[in-house]
């Protein structure tokens, strides 16, 4: 008779194991967010094509199953601090990536910074003239047979005219760009074909990302 109240009281206590706040759940969610954020760059760097789907889905499912299991287990064991850590992890990760995006930190900027020394070396090796320098760097492509293809080109434009509408670019810029046209995406940038769309996005300084879609 005397043991019953003690047993009832025990059920309100946390289960076995430490009940403390943990960053591990947040870390795993950040890894998945980072994987999805960098998916396009991974595809255009390594030409993953259909392999990109399992590369994203399998880790995402694993983390989702683990996150759900941790949610249920910590709730069942009444480990409330752990439970809060699990619940808050996706929200905290989303807030982190939103803040990074607002600060201009994105996969394109990170890739640019990683390759900047090589790009600047190649730009420095251009023939010395009084004209603003213009240089193209292949950033790969995504897509393939039966689906939309995107071709990415990093452009260094010291005159910053590439972001202007076609009709507003100077004759001097068009002349410099025309010299790069044969065999490069500059042809599509100068004379966008009807079956393609061209998007120009400034990354930083004189560096621009040109995306061709067809």
Same domain, 196 and 116: yes
Same domain, 95 and 162: no
Same domain, 132 and 181: yes
Same domain, 147 and 172: yes
Per-residue model confidence (pLDDT) at position 69: 96
Residues 6+ positions from 86 with CB-CB distance below 8 Å: 25, 67, 70, 71, 74
**C-alpha–C-alpha distance, residues 54 and 173, integer Å:** 44
Q: How far is CA 123 from CA 109, 126, 132, 204, 209, in A?
A: 18, 5, 11, 16, 16
Whether the pLDDT of residue 7 is over 50: the answer is no
Residue after which a domain boundary falls, among 86, 102, 118: 102
Residue after which a domain boundary falls, among 32, 67, 102: 102
Q: Which domain holds residue 117?
A: 107-213
Q: What is the mean pLDDT of the chain?
A: 88
pTM to 2 decimal places: 0.76
Give the percent of the chain with pLDDT over 90.
60
Give how many domains the chain has, as a whole number.
Answer: 2
Tell whether 40 is covered by a domain: yes
HSE (CB half, 13 Å, CA atoms) of 7? 4
| Digit-coded pLDDT (tens) for 81-135 | 999 999 999 999 999 999 999 998 999 999 999 999 999 999 999 988 889 999 9
Per-residue model confidence (pLDDT) at position 1: 45
Per-residue model confidence (pLDDT) at position 9: 46
Same domain, 124 and 188: yes
Q: Which of 75, 103, 92 is nearest to 26 (CA)?
A: 92
Report the range of poorest mean pLDDT among 42-46, 118-122, 152-156.
42-46
Q: Which of 83, 97, 89, 195 is nearest to 149 (CA)?
A: 195
Per-residue model confidence (pLDDT) at position 127: 87
Q: Which of 65, 72, 54, 53 is nearest to 15 (CA)?
A: 72
Residue after which a domain boundary falls, among 65, 86, 102: 102
């Amino acid at each position: 008779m005397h043991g019953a109240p003690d047993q009832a009281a025990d059920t309100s206590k946390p289960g076995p194991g430490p009940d403390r706040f943990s960053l591990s759940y947040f870390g795993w969610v950040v890894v998945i967010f980072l994987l999805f954020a960098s998916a396009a760059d991974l595809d255009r760097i390594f030409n993953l094509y259909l392999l990109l789907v399992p590369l994203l889905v399998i880790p995402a499912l694993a983390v989702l199953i683990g996150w759900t299991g941790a949610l249920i287990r910590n709730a069942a064991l009444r480990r409330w601090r752990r439970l809060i850590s699990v619940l808050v992890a996706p929200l905290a990760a989303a807030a982190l990536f939103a803040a990074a995006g607002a600060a201009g930190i994105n996969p394109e900027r990170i890739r640019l910074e990683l390759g900047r020394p090589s790009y600047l070396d190649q730009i420095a090796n251009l023939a010395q003239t009084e004209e603003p320098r213009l240089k193209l760097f292949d950033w790969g492509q995504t897509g393939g047979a039966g689906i939309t293809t995107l071709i990415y080109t990093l452009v260094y434009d010291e005159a910053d005219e590439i972001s202007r509408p076609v009709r507003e670019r100077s004759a001097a810029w068009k002349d410099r760009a025309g010299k790069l046209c044969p065999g490069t995406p500059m042809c599509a940038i100068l004379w966008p074909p009807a079956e393609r769309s061209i998007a120009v996005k400034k990354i930083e300084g004189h560096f621009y990302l040109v995306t061709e879609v067809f």
